[in-house]
């Protein structure tokens, strides 16, 4: 049996915003798994902001995505054939299969493949609330912000896969949770469906003064923890409202991924307010995944942790969906359905 794979390659490095021309859809035969390998049919591909950073050459926290190779990305799917004792055909798995329909994975490679239980948690959730984005939220909140009950936690990109989990995890810890999101629809969702205490629409506040005033109204006791997914003006506005000894977990700087310089307007506030500003990457906290996934899985299974998904249809739609993600056109976790 020869199966045909579809793959999306990075064909050129974007300058500024990516375009569909930076990607190329190709077909290739699916290789037969060798001894110790597992063949996986992908059901969903995850699109995440970190991928933009990987498309650049040069120094970042990870190796650049090589040109003319399959784009990296998280996937969930089903084992079609296994030549590794830990897996069997029919197993549902999460892994880093990339932008393609099938992958052949070394079953023994650490962190590359993990069996998941879909009796109480939908398969796609392992790419979102019970996967890398959920653990990202958990690590930034628990290990860096470390909020106490009664404190105020703010998160940007609040309707997204990471942000929605940050606020709900903060609520579960007795905090006031305030989101920042783009547009009235997303803000209503963050407040009404996710249960945040408030949400500020950054599109209605285009300058520092206006955004900072809106945050003051939403956070009458100031801000003790900020989970930053965007940087730029939003970070500047939040810093003006941080309480003494506030903690800022720096998780993403979306607009910066497109290459614009993004200065921090007033770093002296780090001193004035004795802030801790800390960057982190969830893949470097592997020791925390177990505890995080336990809380996240239980919360999703019981309906306490809610989320939304934007699902693009078919691999060919992935580049356009990714560009939309960077522009905030998605609503919730951005997935690509592959089956």
- The nearer residue to a copy of itself, 194 or 235, going by C-beta atoms, is 235
Please select the residue that binds a copy of itself; options are 272, 286, 294, 329, rule is CB under 8 A. Answer: 272
CB 271 to a copy of itself: min, Å: 4
286 belongs to the binding site for a copy of itself (CB under 8 A): no
3-state secondary structure of 286: helix
CB 255 to a copy of itself: min, Å: 10
Is residue 70 within 8 A of residue 7, CB to CB? The reply is: yes
Please select the residue that binds a copy of itself; options are 140, 160, 179, 252, rule is CB under 8 A. Answer: 252
CB 276 to a copy of itself: min, Å: 4
Please select the residue that binds a copy of itself; options are 31, 122, 256, 324, rule is CB under 8 A. Answer: 256
CB atoms within 10 A of CB 29: 10
DSSP state of 94: E
Please select the residue that binds a copy of itself; options are 112, 116, 172, 250, rule is CB under 8 A. Answer: 250
In sign, the C-alpha dihedral spanning 121, 125, 131, 134 is negative
221 belongs to the binding site for a copy of itself (CB under 8 A): no
Is residue 22 within 8 A of residue 319, CB to CB? The reply is: yes
Is residue 194 within 8 A of residue 221, CB to CB? The reply is: no
161 Cβ contact list (under 8 Å, min separation 6)? 48, 128, 129, 133, 134, 307, 332, 333, 334
12 belongs to the binding site for a copy of itself (CB under 8 A): no
- The nearer residue to a copy of itself, 12 or 278, going by C-beta atoms, is 278
243 belongs to the binding site for a copy of itself (CB under 8 A): no
Question: From residue 62 to residue 101, what is the string marking binding to a copy of itself with x (rule CB under 8 A)?
Answer: ----------------------------------------
47 Cβ contact list (under 8 Å, min separation 6)? 73, 312, 318, 321, 322, 325, 330, 334, 335, 336
Q: What residues numbered 222-241 form the site for a copy of itself, per CB under 8 A?
A: 231, 235
339 belongs to the binding site for a copy of itself (CB under 8 A): no
CA dist., res. 291 & res. 272, Å (int):
35
Question: Applying CB under 8 A, which residues contact a copy of itself?
Answer: 59-61, 231, 235, 244, 250-253, 256, 261-268, 270-281, 284
């Amino acid at each position: 049996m020869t199966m045909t794979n579809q793959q999306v390659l990075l064909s050129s490095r974007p300058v500024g915003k990516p375009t569909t021309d930076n990607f190329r859809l190709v077909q290739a035969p699916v290789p037969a798994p060798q001894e110790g390998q597992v063949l996986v049919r992908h059901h969903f591909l995850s699109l995440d902001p970190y991928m933009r950073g990987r498309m650049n050459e040069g120094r970042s926290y990870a190796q650049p995505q090589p040109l003319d190779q399959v784009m990296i990305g998280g996937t969930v799917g089903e084992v079609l054939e296994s030549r590794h004792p830990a897996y069997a055909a029919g197993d549902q798995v999460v892994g880093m299969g990339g932008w393609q329909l099938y992958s052949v994975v070394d079953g023994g490679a650490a962190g590359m493949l993990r069996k998941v239980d879909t009796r109480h948690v939908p398969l796609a959730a392992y790419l979102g609330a019970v996967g890398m984005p959920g653990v990202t939220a958990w690590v930034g909140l628990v290990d860096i912000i470390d909020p106490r009950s009664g404190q105020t936690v703010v998160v940007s990109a609040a309707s997204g896969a990471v942000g929605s989990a940050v606020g709900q995890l903060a609520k579960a810890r007795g905090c006031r949770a305030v989101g920042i999101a783009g547009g009235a629809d997303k803000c209503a969702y963050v407040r009404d469906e996710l249960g945040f205490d408030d949400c500020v629409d950054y599109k209605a506040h285009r300058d520092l003064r206006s955004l900072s005033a809106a945050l003051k109204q939403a956070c009458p006791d100031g801000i003790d923890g900020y989970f930053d997914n965007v940087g730029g003006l939003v970070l500047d506005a939040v810093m003006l409202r941080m309480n003494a000894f506030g903690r800022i977990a720096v998780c993403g700087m979306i607009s910066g991924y497109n290459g614009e310089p993004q200065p921090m307007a007033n770093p002296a506030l780090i001193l004035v307010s004795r802030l801790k500003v800390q960057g982190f990457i969830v893949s470097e906290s592997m020791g925390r995944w177990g505890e995080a996934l336990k809380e996240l899985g239980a919360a999703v299974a019981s309906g306490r942790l809610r989320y939304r998904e934007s699902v693009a249809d078919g691999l060919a739609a992935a580049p356009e969906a990714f560009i939309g993600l960077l522009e905030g056109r998605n609503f919730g976790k951005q997935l690509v359905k592959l089956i």
